[in-house]
Amino acid sequence: MANIVSQLTNFLERFHANQSRCRRDDGSGVPPTLRALGRKACWVVLLNGEQRGTAFASRDEAEECRAAWEALLRLEQSDSLH
């Protein structure tokens, strides 16, 4: 479990700069840091209707985050059964 927590922590730290998801007057949900890189769209991870992590520039990054969160949730569920 420590490995998954560490993986998730490292992942979130890498993308901390993209954390702001406030909408601008132009209606864009893309964070300013990604817009500055020319991105017009971003990926977010939702699990059970809740956003996990931050906005990601690529689907691969979002999938990596999703996998880490799902693994952590599975561990928490298995620990609660014991």
Domain ranges of the chain: 2-80
Q: Give the pLDDT confidence of 11-59 residue by residue, as tens digits.
A: 666 655 444 444 444 557 888 888 888 888 889 998 888 888 888 999 9
9-35 per-residue burial string, b: 16 or more CB within 10 A, e: under 16? eebeeebeebeeeeeeeeebebbebbe
Name beta bridge partners: 47.
50
- pLDDT for 66 equals 92
Distance CA 25, CA 39 (A): 17
What pTM was estimated for this model as a whole?
Answer: 0.61
